[in-house]
Amino acid sequence: MKMLVTGAAGFIGSNFVFHQLKKRPKTQIVGLDALTYAGNYETLKPLEGHSQFRFIKSDITDKSSIDVLFDTERFDVVVNFAAESHVDRSIENPSIFLSTNIIGTQVLMDAALRYDVRRFHQISTDEVYGDLPLERPDLLFTESTPLHTSSPYSASKASADLLAQAYYRTFNLPLSISRCSNNYGPYHFPEKLIPLAITNALADKPIPVYGTGENVRDWLYVEDHCEAIDCIITRADSGSVFNVGGHNEMRNIDIVKLILDKLQKPESLIEYVSDRKGHDLRYAIDPSKIENELSWTPKTQFAEGLDRTIEWYLRNETWWSRILTGEYRKSLPR
């Protein structure tokens, strides 16, 4: 099997590449990434010279380059992780999110149709559903929950989902979509909550927390997410949509306090800042469909996953410190 993984130098994309090479060593993988600020080629450097992996620096919105790539490689499977994903940045500059997340997805799907890809998998997010009230813990997002977005980021991802479903119905593109909750684990870019809290705490720097930190998220260890994607692309029916969640809802402030406790750092490092515009209150995933149809369940309890994540950041200071200094941007594929 030959697979294209876009966004391969990002957080979840790189973890998925490592997961696939370990689980399916006969699969040939081409990893594609534009290496914008959140794409870190140093994550993939250990794979240089790997017989089953090749990296290409390219942008999914570049139609001519994508067409040449598909014509040359004749992929069986495409997994599209490539996306601009930081909500704050989408508020500051929505246009790049619309270009990458919508037009880029369209370019990839057109190529997938033209070159008879057997499965196109779109990585989405629970943020396409909007949010849920804090006082209704009984409410959960299901695959039939109407899309109701809050930020330019989530709107761009919801648009890509709708476009993908239209390509399935109109053009019979064999595709699937997964909508995941918040991921955490190794190689997480240190602008997101958990790696930001870890790296700032280690440096005794203030940890910014929006508002009062009451916002609730469901957390999923990245390795469990990778296994869920593998189940979907190999066993799910075309046209399927699956929610992928970790059964672990926690308030942002409790996550930060837990990290500080584990690192033996004072809570005085917490710095409450003005709340994000349109900040979603609560995300909560019901993953019963994927559990029932594909027998997938998250294996990693949050306490274990957080310990493993903190330990990884302690052992890999060079990786994240080069991001903080900007040195990682000088690392390019050979």
pTM exceeds cut of 0.85: yes
Whether 153 sits among the annotated catalytic residues: the reply is: yes
Low-confidence ranges of the chain (pLDDT < 70): 86
Whether 126 sits among the annotated catalytic residues: the reply is: yes
| The pLDDT value given to residue 331 | 85
CB under 8 Å to 60, separation ≥6 — which residues?
Answer: 6, 32, 34, 66, 80, 82, 100, 104, 105, 107, 108
Question: Is 180 exposed, middle or buried (CB count within 10 Å of its CB: 0-12, 13-18, 19+)?
Answer: buried
Six token digits for residue 70: 């598909």
Given the residues 41, 129, 153, 221, select the one marked as catalytic: 153
| The pLDDT value given to residue 93 | 82
Given the residues 126, 131, 161, 223, select the one marked as catalytic: 126
| The pLDDT value given to residue 150 | 87
Q: Considering only CA atoms, which of 213, 206, 224 is closest in space to residue 255?
A: 213
Instruction: Please spell the DSSP secondary structure of 129-178, one letter per residue.
Output: G----TT-TT--B-TTSPP---SHHHHHHHHHHHHHHHHHHHH---EEEE
- Over the stretch 171-217, which tens digit does the pLDDT of each residue have? 999 999 999 999 999 999 998 999 999 999 999 999 999 999 999 99
| The pLDDT value given to residue 333 | 85
Separation of alpha carbons 234 and 230, rounded Å: 6
Whether 84 sits among the annotated catalytic residues: the reply is: no
**Any idea which residue has 């409450």 for tokens?**
272
Maximum distance among all Cα pairs of the chain, rounded to whole angstroms: 57
